[in-house]
Amino acid sequence: MSAATIMNGQDHQEQCGEEVADGLSAARLFGQGITYTYDDVIFHPGHIYFAAHEVSLATQLTREIKLASPVVSSPMDTVTEADMAIMMASLGGIGFVHYNMPLEQQVQTVQKVKQQAVGFVANPVVLSREMLAGTNQEKQASNGACITDTGAVGGRLQGMVTLSGQVLTAEGVGALTQPRQNMLPKVLDTTSLEEAQTIMAEHQLQSLPLVDQDGKLVKVAYKQIVAPSLDSQGRYLVGAAVGTRQEDRTRVDQLRSQAEVDVVILDSSQGDSTYQIEMLQHLKKAHPGLQVIAGNVVTGAQARRLIAAGADALRVGMGSGSICTTQEVCAVGRGQATAVYHVGRVARAAGVPIIADGGVQNSGHIVKALALGASTVMCGSMFAGTTEAPGEYFTVNGTKVKKYRGMGSLEAMQKGSESRYYGDTQHIKIAQGVSGTVKDKGSIRQTVPFLLQATRQGFQDLGAKDLPSAHQLLQSGQMRVECRTGSAQAEGGVHDMYSFDKVRW
């Protein structure tokens, strides 16, 4: 088509008084009475004036708590306990310990996070030379493992398997495999964390074993790629979920006094209730320094009531999780993209951050959630099946898996989560979730850095250098969005390939 033809077409449109919109503002798209998921919407690219590494993902979890990473882990009993919470804090986010356990156990779990030495692996994988020779153990070691003569911490260090699968041999030890690998530097346990970081940078290592004078493994440091989430005493930040029953007030008292938890989530599938408002008001009065996250909500009206009651942040989402059946069973909920936009619009005016909870399947969904108004994104299914998730691996039809279930599943309810769905007083338990398995995903020490870098690149394409910039573009209408047809969604993914390998990084 010639330039003249294009100009004539524009002249005709102007003469006819037609106005052609090049994309829509978010206010217009989400104001049509249609509910959208993340996959339904797409953003127009903005103007790039900065490099991707210049993008800052620093954000507010609550009114008072800042994070270097906008990714947090869900308080589900197959997602977050101590190991997950420690690793999330070390990566600049935060983990929320579930409450589908006795009070004493939840207190101990939070205490374990608080007591963990910053910069060191909580439960390092340690193998013996004989274990390394086994096929399954080699696969396990590919997540990064130390090798000692006993196969445990305290044994004489013989080498290390890096995250990339490379085998490094310790000084004075014969080759662990053939041909002989590179040497592993000997670092004493008296070495400071800062010095250990320098050594890892020099040798391009992701982790570093520290030994005593006799060469016995004492602990393992890891490379810090982002500022960890720390409290005022230099300990890891950690959150915990609680319910709204009378006994949950005692639970919070113990979590605060014995474990010094930093933030609590009032965990409910539908948070706009008198129960939650009363609990919120009680906690803000009884524990003035405690940050309290309310929810879940999906509408502006719900958000206003909880903000008025004193919420320090809101958790957004209802029925959008991969294991959630609330929309199917109860016929209530909302598409997650629409929910995040409308709750974010109300919360932003009140200075209250929101957490996009549910429906996140990839880094693009994280970009969309943040760009539509969220300050953080909560991941459940993305982190289920990882090394840090609770539970043991087992094999199904030759595939290594872990259990993953919704807190509304009958299996989880039998352990006590029914109060989350107001079902603890009912004779018949109605499931609002399912139970199943997910494939082994390795460590989130690999997954989260990938997600963060992909998010930075997404923000670069949007022309937003940080979260406040993205929210300003959204609010002003400069950020243009459109709804994608089914064909557009198919075109936006991999297609017309006979076979392919989808390698993320």
The angle subtended at Cα 89 by Cα 83 and Cα 94, nearest 5°, is 95
Length, in residues, of the chain: 505
8-state DSSP, 480: E
Q: So what's the pLDDT on residue 432?
A: 59
Q: Which of 405, 420, 445, 456 is catalytic?
A: 420
* pLDDT tens over the chain, length 505 residues: 444 444 454 454 445 555 777 999 999 999 999 999 999 999 999 999 999 999 999 999 999 999 999 999 999 999 999 999 999 999 999 999 999 999 999 999 999 999 999 999 888 889 888 877 654 444 455 457 888 999 999 999 988 888 777 788 887 666 655 555 578 888 999 999 999 999 999 988 888 999 999 999 999 999 998 999 999 999 999 999 999 999 999 999 999 999 999 999 999 989 999 999 999 999 999 999 999 999 899 999 999 999 999 999 999 999 777 667 777 777 788 999 999 999 999 999 999 999 999 889 999 999 999 999 999 999 999 999 999 999 888 898 998 888 887 666 555 555 554 554 455 555 555 555 567 888 888 889 889 999 999 999 999 999 999 999 999 999 999 999 999 999 888 888 887 787 767 766 6
* Cis before 124? omega within 30: no
The reply to whether 324 belongs to the active site is: yes
Integer Cα distance of 314 and 62 in angstroms: 8
Tokens 């102007």 -> residue: 14
- The strand pair at 207-211 and 94-97 is best described as unpaired
Sign (positive or negative) of CA dihedral 359, 447, 83, 440: positive
CA dihedral 215→216→217→221, nearest 10 degrees, is -30
Q: Which of 146, 305, 315, 324 is catalytic?
A: 324
Q: So what's the pLDDT on residue 471?
A: 98
Integer Cα distance of 100 and 109 in angstroms: 12
Q: So what's the pLDDT on residue 407?
A: 61
Q: What is the 3-state secondary structure (H, E, C) of 12-26?
A: HHHHCCCCCCCCEEH
Tokens 């070691």 -> residue: 141
The two structure tokens encoding residue 258 = 């014995």
What type of residue is 210? L
* pTM reported for the whole predicted model: 0.87
Which of 482, 491, 484 has the alpha carbon at shortest distance from 29? 482
Query: Both ends of the chain: CA-CA distance in Å?
Result: 40
Return the bridge partners of 266, or none: 242
Return the bridge partners of 470, or none: none
Q: So what's the pLDDT on residue 414?
A: 57
The reply to whether 16 belongs to the active site is: no
**Strands of the sheet with 24-25, listed across from one edge:** 24-25, 480-483, 41-43
Which of 265, 275, 353, 268 has the alpha carbon at shortest distance from 318? 268
The angle subtended at Cα 372 by Cα 367 and Cα 374, nearest 5°, is 80
Q: So what's the pLDDT on residue 221?
A: 92
